[in-house]
Amino acid sequence: MDRRQLLEQMRDWSPQEQLDFAQDVWDRIAITKSSPAVTEDVRSEIEARLNALDADPDDVVDWSAIVDHVRRKS
């Protein structure tokens, strides 16, 4: 079965079944302990974010504030 066929079949699955499948796939990837190659664009973005943090370490948003914001939007 190719990826397209699998995605078609998954349309009949419940959201929980899809989440369970996604978790199983994620767990298999984690076991391999391999990492995808980091592209130059991603590397540049990480570097820019680290530089911004170094330049102004107080310019951050606390995780609990993010969670509160998301919950208010729901």
Quick check: pTM over 0.95? no
Could you give phi then psi for residue 8, rounded to 5 degrees?
-65, -45
Contact 10, 3 (CB under 8 A): no
Along the 74 residues of the chain, how does pLDDT read in single tens digits?
Answer: 899 999 999 999 999 999 999 999 999 988 987 878 899 999 999 999 999 999 999 999 999 999 999 999 87
27 lies in the same domain as 45:
no
Residues contacting 17, CB < 8 A, separation 6+: 10
Strand ranges (E), 1-74: none
Q: Which amino acid is at 72?
A: R
Torsion of CA 13, 15, 17, 20, to 10 degrees: 150
* Range of the structural domain that residue 23 is part of: 3-32
8 lies in the same domain as 24:
yes
Number of structural domains found in the chain:
2
